[in-house]
């Protein structure tokens, strides 16, 4: 197996580096954040991801995985260098590749033998070519390196399983030598007959964007269908189930809710529109997906206002801050929009999430964070469920009502049965499900 340097120990780098070590490779994970590396050496992970800590501990104990801040040593003592670095959105939505090219500059200065340089993070189409040109311009001989695109397809909350049992591995390369090295790195996956998609670099880079944009499209589509269902007295859950039984559609990502968030879909859909603009096109469908998602988050507040028109000094309980369960990630989470809108109307927030409260404090340090799900409901004028953590599904409806000042419940994840909740005396709304005497959203603001 191969010696690998994983540059960047964020979400992608840590999961990928640990997974590659578990495949039998020797992996050193590198980051310039000394505190992060110090904590990793003490088994303290910078992210919450089920199953990851145990996998890290196993591979560290077996000598295949290590952590360091020594970038030069890691590059010179590795055959394959993965770039798992941040690629945030720039001021106009374009991909900011500054972290990537800072690393490439370092590689150019210290390279001491043939290296395969692999982009693991999501990068703009054409980045592989730019990396190659950048290295050549700095005097690195083309015999000293190959550039490969190997995009990640990790779902937060399920990333360990996604890496160990992927639907496919995409390898974009112009070199047969680099392709064979990459196949050797992933050889363990041959045992479970994982498809290897070998292609050119541009196509590999595009596969990542196309995949994420399509999944985001399914989410925005079913949310738009849910909104129509509310107006025509149909049930989106039954609609989605019937749609999903069609093999051409499938049931994945057809769950109506308050909109998508996280580190990938918002950033990647916006980046794809900029890639299209750069070649003189308009990604019309993707642009619509982004707008539908923006409005869906605001629609949660419209539902609240329909049941509680005056939010001034009202206590609103928020259950769930992460953009999805089993992660502490709040990037572009619906909770960010909902909390901001409620505070702007004079409301007061008390919130709970099993993992994401520390992250949300970075955005809203002054709202009230409580110790348990039931604490959110105490003397609340309304309750909004924004993340479908399993522990929320089994909550006692009668007890919830006894704790609240006003029994108003906005269930954006459709975890409760509407008839049961309303029989208990709640004023209730959800996303796209049939409700007798639904409080119609009236006087919606133009966004």
* Res. 1 pLDDT band, cuts 50 70 90: confident
* Under 8 Å between Cβ of 159 and 15: yes
Q: What percent of the chain has pLDDT over 90?
A: 95
* Res. 437 pLDDT band, cuts 50 70 90: low
Residue 264 known to be catalytic? yes
* Interstrand relation of 115-119 and 145-149 (parallel, antiparallel or unpaired): parallel
- CA angle, 204 then 205 then 209, to 5°: 115
> What size, in residues, is the chain?
447
Only one residue has tokens 């996303």, namely 431
Q: What are the b/e assignments for 324-361, b being 16+ CB within 10 Å?
A: bbbbbbbbbbbbbbbbebbbeeebbbbbbbbbbbebbe
The whole-number pLDDT of residue 31 equals: 97
Render pLDDT for 167-203 as a digit per residue (tens, 0 to 9).
Answer: 999 999 999 999 999 999 999 999 899 999 999 999 9
* Residue 444 pLDDT greater than 50, yes or no: no
Phi, psi for 11 (deg, rounded to 5): -60, -50
* Residue 378 pLDDT greater than 60, yes or no: yes
Would you tell me how many other CB atoms lie within 10 Å of the CB of residue 372?
A: 10
Spatial CA neighbour of 384 closest among 297, 326, 313: 297
Q: Give the chain's radius of gyration (CA, Å).
A: 24
C-alpha separations of 92 from 270, 271, 275 in Å = 9, 9, 12
* Interstrand relation of 145-149 and 169-173 (parallel, antiparallel or unpaired): antiparallel
* Residue 394 pLDDT greater than 50, yes or no: yes
Helix (H) or strand (E) segment spanning residue 19: helix 11-22
Render pLDDT for 287-336 as a digit per residue (tens, 0 to 9).
Answer: 999 999 999 999 999 999 999 999 999 999 999 999 999 999 999 999 99
Render pLDDT for 42-71 as a digit per residue (tens, 0 to 9).
Answer: 999 999 999 999 999 999 999 999 999 999
Average pLDDT value for residue range 404-433: 96
* Under 8 Å between Cβ of 337 and 354: no
- Active-site choice (29, 229, 264, 430): 264
Mean pLDDT of the chain: 95
Give the 3-state secondary structure of residue 108.
helix
Query: What whole-number distance in Å separates Cα of residue 36 and Cα of residue 327?
Result: 18
Q: At what angle do helices 284-307 and 201-232 cross, to 10 degrees?
A: 40
* Residue 447 pLDDT greater than 60, yes or no: no
Give the 3-state secondary structure of residue 394.
coil
Query: What whole-number distance in Å separates Cα of residue 28 and Cα of residue 21?
Result: 9
Query: What whole-number distance in Å separates Cα of residue 330 and Cα of residue 323?
Result: 5
Give the 3-state secondary structure of residue 131.
helix
pTM score of the predicted model: 0.92
Would you tell me how many other CB atoms lie within 10 Å of the CB of residue 151?
A: 22
* Residue 355 pLDDT greater than 60, yes or no: yes
* Res. 443 pLDDT band, cuts 50 70 90: very low
The whole-number pLDDT of residue 438 equals: 58
Domains and CATH numbers, the chain: 3-197 (3.40.50.720), 209-287 (1.10.1040.10), 295-430 (3.40.50.720)
Only one residue has tokens 């990604």, namely 283
């Amino acid at each position: 197996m191969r010696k690998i340097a994983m540059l960047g120990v964020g979400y992608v780098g840590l999961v990928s580096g640990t997974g590659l070590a578990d495949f039998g490779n020797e992996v050193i994970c590198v980051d310039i954040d000394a505190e992060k590396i110090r904590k990793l050496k003490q088994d303290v992970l910078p992210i919450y991801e089920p199953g990851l800590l145990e996998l890290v501990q196993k591979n560290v104990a077996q000598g295949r995985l290590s952590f360091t801040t020594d970038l030069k040593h890691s590059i010179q003592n590795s055959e394959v260098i993965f770039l798992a670095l941040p690629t945030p959105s720039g001021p106009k939505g374009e991909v900011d590749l500054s972290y990537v090219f800072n690393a490439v500059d370092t590689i150019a200065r210290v390279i001491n033998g043939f290296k395969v340089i692999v982009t693991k993070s999501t990068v703009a189409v054409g980045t592989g070519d730019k990396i190659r040109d950048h290295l050549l311009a700095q005097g690195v001989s083309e015999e000293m390196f190959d550039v490969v695109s190997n995009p990640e397809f990790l779902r937060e909350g399920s990333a360990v399983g996604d890496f160990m049992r992927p639907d496919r591995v995409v390898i974009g390369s112009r070199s047969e030598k680099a392709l064979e090295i990459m196949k050797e790195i992933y050889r363990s996956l041959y045992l479970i007959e994982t498809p290897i998609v070998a292609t050119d670099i541009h196509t590999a880079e595009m596969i990542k964007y196309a995949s994420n944009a399509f999944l985001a499209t399914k989410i925005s589509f079913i949310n738009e269908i849910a909104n129509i269902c509310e107006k025509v007295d149909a049930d989106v859950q039954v609609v989605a189930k019937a749609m999903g039984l069609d093999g051409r559609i499938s049931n994945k990502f057809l769950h109506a809710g308050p909109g998508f968030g996280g580190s990938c879909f918002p950033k990647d859909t916006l980046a794809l529109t900029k890639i299209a603009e750069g070649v003189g096109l308009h990604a019309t469908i993707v642009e619509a997906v982004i707008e539908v998602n923006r409005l869906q988050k605001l629609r949660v507040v419209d539902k609240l206002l329909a049941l509680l028109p005056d939010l001034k000094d009202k206590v609103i309980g928020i259950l769930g801050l992460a953009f999805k369960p089993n992660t502490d990630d709040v990037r572009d989470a619906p909770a960010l929009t909902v909390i901001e809108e409620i505070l702007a109307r004079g409301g007061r927030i008390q919130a709970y999430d099993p993992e994401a409260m520390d992250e949300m404090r970075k955005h809203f340090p002054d709202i009230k964070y409580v110790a348990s799900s039931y604490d959110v409901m105490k003397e609340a004028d309304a309750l909004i469920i924004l993340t479908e953590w399993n522990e929320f599904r089994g909550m006692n409806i009668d007890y919830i009502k006894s704790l609240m000042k006003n029994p108003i419940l906005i269930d954006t994840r459709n975890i409760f049965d509407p008839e049961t909740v309303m029989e208990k005396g709640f004023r209730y709304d959800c996303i796209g499900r049939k409700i007798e005497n639904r409080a119609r959203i009236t006087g919606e603001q133009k966004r």
